[in-house]
């Protein structure tokens, strides 16, 4: 029943380390986890069809600060850049 309600349930069950995927940063939503390396490893021999993959994240997850740019400012910046190119 859970698999029907949450279509990506099978994906999360096959991930070896689930913490960074399932736990968002509730304290500061402008910080996202930064991964420096992700390794995808097949769990079965390459000649077997429908094999599963394991994902390993060998390094820590430092917080990456993001910046909020209002959409109005983006439009103004785009117009200025377009005018400079012509």
What pLDDT was estimated at residue 56?
Answer: 58
Domain ranges of the chain: 2-85
CA distance 45 to 55: 16
pTM: 0.23
What pLDDT was estimated at residue 68?
Answer: 62
The alpha carbon dihedral of 8, 14, 26, 35 has a sign of: negative
Of 61, 62, 60, 43, the closest CA to residue 52 belongs to: 43
Q: What is the pLDDT of residues 16-32, one digit of tens each?
A: 455 555 555 556 555 65
Q: What is the pLDDT of residues 50-63, one digit of tens each?
A: 555 555 555 555 56
Choose between 86 and 11: higher pLDDT.
11
Helices (H), 1-86: 2-5, 9-14, 19-22, 71-85
What pLDDT was estimated at residue 2?
Answer: 47
């Amino acid at each position: 029943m859970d698999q029907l309600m949450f279509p990506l349930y099978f994906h999360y069950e096959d991930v070896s380390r689930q913490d960074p995927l399932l736990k968002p940063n509730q304290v500061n939503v402008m910080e996202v986890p930064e991964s420096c390396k992700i390794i995808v490893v097949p769990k079965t021999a390459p000649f077997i069809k429908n094999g599963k993959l394991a994902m390993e994240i060998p390094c820590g997850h430092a917080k990456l600060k993001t910046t909020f740019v209002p959409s109005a400012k983006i439009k103004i910046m785009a117009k200025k850049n377009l005018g400079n190119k012509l």
